[in-house]
Amino acid sequence: MLLQVRNLSTYFLADNGVVKAVDDISYDLEEGETLSIVGESGCGKTVSALSLLRLIPDPPGKIVNGKIIFEGRDLLTLSEDEICDIRGNRMAMIFQEPMTSLNPVLTIGHQVMEPLMLHKGMNRKEALKECIELLKGMQMVGAYPHQFSGGMRQRVMVSMGLSCNPRLIIADEPTTALDVTIQAELLDLMKKLTRDHFTALIIITHNLGIVARYADKVIVMYAGRIVEKALTRELYRSPLHPYTIGLMESVPRLDQDIKQKLRPIEGQPPDLAYLPSGCSFHPRCRRAMERCRRESPTLREVSDNHEAACWIYE
Amino acid sequence: MNAHRHSYTIDASLPGPRSNAWTAFFTLMKHKVALAGLVILLGLLFMAVFAPVLAPSDPNEQDLYHVLEGPSLKHLLGTDDVGRDLLSRVIFGSRATLLMGALSTFFSAVIGVLIGLVAGYKGGIVDMVVMRITDTFMCVPALVLMLVIVSALGPGMQSIVLSITILSWTWFARIVRGQVMLVRELPYVEAANALGASGFRIMFKHLLPNVMAPIIVTATIALGGNIMLESAVSFLGLGVQQPTSSWGNELRIGYSYLEVVPLFSLAPGLMITLAVLAFNFIGDGLRDALDPRLRSSLGIRGNGYGRAGGTNAVVK
């Protein structure tokens, strides 16, 4: 087992109370596996990923509870130096904004070389050689980020993430800023590279198409909690949670009858500082019952490799 | 920061990027006022470096037949109260004045930038304590503090440089802190963090180059201000001591003879004005040149730092 997340909770202390951005989530990830975390904006996807690397700005954020066991060590108990040694080396992150995630005043080469020199103890010359290898197909290592297009920059980010051959890569909405053709190209590249090196991958996205194509298993998050956890095939064949069903129905499909209307999920995602009582989803749920208003459901295995947090499966 | 640029370019047939420094330099050249400042500054530097060659006579040599005289062929600017050639003294005076200005600016930049970086990056309690200390330094009246330090340590170049440094590091600290707080929140700093870069590395490798532009601008303008301060203290008689000449010094002695030989105080005064003006002009031009958003208004294509452009934000 490469990664075990247990009861992870990350809260933010805001003026108007405690924002439970990530609340009691648990999941496992094997070597070489691809996990996808999906959900609406502000459901805690990014915070849960940043928590893994302990990159939550403190204050106001704080990992209040849980364990993150990565390669046999609990990341939450490590010192700052030890975690720095894991970041970029054993576990790397690719950010969603390629336009701003590169330092504008340093050359591309400089930035790709940095993790190599930092973690692999390479000198300039070796790092440069490795960097040219990583960026093959891209001509200018001496160029500045502003001279690159969004797709090229995101490829640079991917190269940086993969440079130290980490065991786990977290890609936070890696394709949001890119156009569709580049998206596919980049994801295929990432998938190929991770498969070659047997690297585990966590893709955070709200694009269900990406999930279907690239992920082995899926976590659906709503209001900081996991509402459904399944193998990708399972999830698409028979989504269980009303929220997941709603998500699927709100995406247009090519094989759909043209007269059939899309069914959006009504309402807004809740304010994380003022969560509704009981199940956070009940005000928007079509199948809400009296019990949903009072009690919050926990994840339970509904069928093989398929868990959902909903009272209708009780 | 662009020194290694060429070593990274593999394919020589592709046009290399025009570095920021060059773009800034060309922009500066289009800025008429800054160009004038640069010309004046180069002239002053030339004068300071080649003083022994340029000066018509030894600055300490007395011509006792011509004391307190106006301009003549023998003494182009006249002589001072003990018969020394004024032109030579003004030329040699540039050395002390410019050196003190440069040294004090250098030291205050080093101290101020370090403090600003740490305060801006660490934030929280560190920032609060450091910035309150900075505020305290800022509310001490400049001249009074300088007079106290100089009279305690005795007049001379060291005490002048020390006292100016104590006074002017705060400018750098404030500006750097503000800029660092801005840049610190940008995604690439988080990205560097996620790659395992230590706080030290982030401060010096990622943040410092990004706040370099305002530092350069501040340094230029501070240079002018520091020359003013130095002259003020010298004018009060606590600067470098006779027989070494500095402009403030000459101005002070000349002031007593203002009605007899006006040029005696006018000449060094004019030099001070010129030097300060030159630095301010250059600072102005640099500010425009280093800010990509202002660059386009000068008819030069910026090198497009992207829409945010916050990396080189203007110094107010």
Query: Edge to edge, what strands does the sheet with A306-308 contain?
Result: A91-94, A168-172, A200-205, A34-38, A217-222, A225-231, A306-308, A300-303
Q: Do B17 and A118 touch (CB under 8 A)?
A: no
Total number of domains in chain A: 1
Query: Rounded to whole angstroms, how far apart are CA atoms B163 and B84?
Result: 30
Do residues A105 and B1 lie in contact, with contact meaning Cβ atoms separated by under 8 Å? yes
3-class DSSP state for residue B300? coil
Residue B293: the pLDDT is 54
Q: Do A147 and B17 touch (CB under 8 A)?
A: yes
- Mean pLDDT for chain A overall: 85
For chain A, state the CA radius of gyration: 20
For residue A144, is it within any domain? no
Best B122, B195, B205, B311 member to test A by mutation, with max A CBs in 10 Å, is: B195
Query: Rounded to whole angstroms, how far apart are CA atoms A234 and A228?
Result: 11
Residue A138: the pLDDT is 64
Tell me the chain B residues in contact with residue A135 when contact means C-beta distances shorter than 8 Å. none
Please report the sign of the dihedral spanned by the C-alpha atoms of residue B11, residue B14, residue B19, residue B20: negative
**Residue among A286, A297, A298, A305 nearest A247 (CA):** A286
Min distance B1 CA to chain A CA atoms (Å): 8
Tell me the chain A residues in contact with residue B7 when contact means C-beta distances shorter than 8 Å. 128, 142
Q: Do B188 and A104 touch (CB under 8 A)?
A: yes
Domain of A171, CATH number, reads: 3.40.50.300
pLDDT tier, B19 (very low <50, low <70, confident <90, very high otherwise): low
Query: Rounded to whole angstroms, how far apart are CA atoms A257 and A79?
Result: 56
Do residues B98 and B45 lie in contact, with contact meaning Cβ atoms separated by under 8 Å? yes
3-class DSSP state for residue B103? helix
For residue A142, is it within any domain? no
Tell me the chain B residues in contact with residue A53 when contact means C-beta distances shorter than 8 Å. 194
For residue A134, is it within any domain? no
Angle at CA of residue A121, ends A120 and A124, nearest 5°: 110
Query: Rounded to whole angstroms, how far apart are CA atoms B287 and B297?
Result: 13
Q: Do B195 and A109 touch (CB under 8 A)?
A: no
Query: Rounded to whole angstroms, how far apart are CA atoms A235 and B27?
Result: 59
User: How do beta strands A17-29 and A3-14 pair?
Assistant: antiparallel
Min distance B287 CA to chain A CA atoms (Å): 17
Output the six-digit token pair for A132. 């040219």
Residue B261: the pLDDT is 80
Query: Rounded to whole angstroms, how far apart are CA atoms B272 and B44?
Result: 11
Query: Edge to edge, what strands does the sheet with A3-14 contain?
Result: A17-29, A3-14, A61-70, A73-74
For residue A114, is it within any domain? no
Do residues B251 and B266 lie in contact, with contact meaning Cβ atoms separated by under 8 Å? no
Tell me the chain B residues in contact with residue A85 when contact means C-beta distances shorter than 8 Å. 196
Tell me the chain B residues in contact with residue A93 when contact means C-beta distances shorter than 8 Å. 191, 194
Whether pLDDT at B300 is above 80: no
ipTM of this complex: 0.76
- Of the partner residues B17, B193, B305, the one whose CB lies closest to the CB of residue A104: B305
- Residue-wise pLDDT for A173-219, tens only, equals 887 777 888 888 888 888 888 888 888 999 998 888 888 888 899 99
A304-311 average pLDDT score: 87
Give a three-class secondary structure readout of B134-151.
HHHHHHCCHHHHHHHHHH
Residue B307: the pLDDT is 32
Q: By CA distance, what is B305's nearest residue in A?
A: A146
**Residue among B2, B197, B208 nearest A115 (CA):** B197
- Residue-wise pLDDT for A230-272, tens only, equals 998 888 888 888 898 888 888 877 777 777 777 888 888 888 8
Output the six-digit token pair for A308. 């959902």
For residue A201, is it within any domain? yes
CA dihedral angle for residue A74, residue A6, residue A66, residue A272, rounded to 10 degrees? 140
Query: Rounded to whole angstroms, how far apart are CA atoms B160 and B163?
Result: 5
Q: From the CB of residue A121, how many other CB atoms can be counted at a distance below 10 Å?
A: 9
Do residues A207 and A96 lie in contact, with contact meaning Cβ atoms separated by under 8 Å? no
Residue A179: the pLDDT is 80
Q: Flag whether the pTM goes above 0.90.
A: no
Give me the residue label for tokens 């202002």.
Answer: B294
Do residues B270 and B97 lie in contact, with contact meaning Cβ atoms separated by under 8 Å? no
Q: Do A104 and B17 touch (CB under 8 A)?
A: no
- Residue-wise pLDDT for A55-78, tens only, equals 888 778 888 888 899 888 898 888
- Residue-wise pLDDT for A10-54, tens only, equals 988 888 788 888 888 999 998 889 999 998 888 888 889 889 888
For residue A247, is it within any domain? yes
Query: Rounded to whole angstroms, how far apart are CA atoms B95 and B244?
Result: 10
- Span between the terminal Cα atoms of chain A, in Å: 30
Output the six-digit token pair for B21. 């420094």
Q: By CA distance, what is A163's nearest residue in B?
A: B195
For residue A200, is it within any domain? yes
Which CA distances in Å does A53 have to A22, A43, B153?
Answer: 14, 18, 53
Q: Report yes or no: A104 at the B interface, CB cutoff 8 Å.
A: yes
Give me the total of CB pairs closer than 8 Å, taking one residue from chain A and one from chain B: 113
Tell me the chain B residues in contact with residue A139 when contact means C-beta distances shorter than 8 Å. 10-11, 14
- Determine the length of chain A: 314
The conformation of residue B310, written as its DSSP 8-state character, comes to G
- Mean pLDDT for chain B overall: 81
Range of the domain at A201: 3-102+166-313
For residue A253, is it within any domain? yes
Structural domains present in chain B: 79-299 (1.10.3720.10)
Q: Do A87 and B195 touch (CB under 8 A)?
A: yes
CA dihedral angle for residue B59, residue B62, residue B68, residue B73, rounded to 10 degrees? -70
Q: Do B10 and A115 touch (CB under 8 A)?
A: no
pLDDT tier, B292 (very low <50, low <70, confident <90, very high otherwise): low
B23-38 average pLDDT score: 82
Residue A64: the pLDDT is 87
Output the six-digit token pair for A289. 């019952």
b/e A268-292 (16+ beta carbons within 10 angstroms → b): ebbebeebbebbbbbbbbeebeeeb
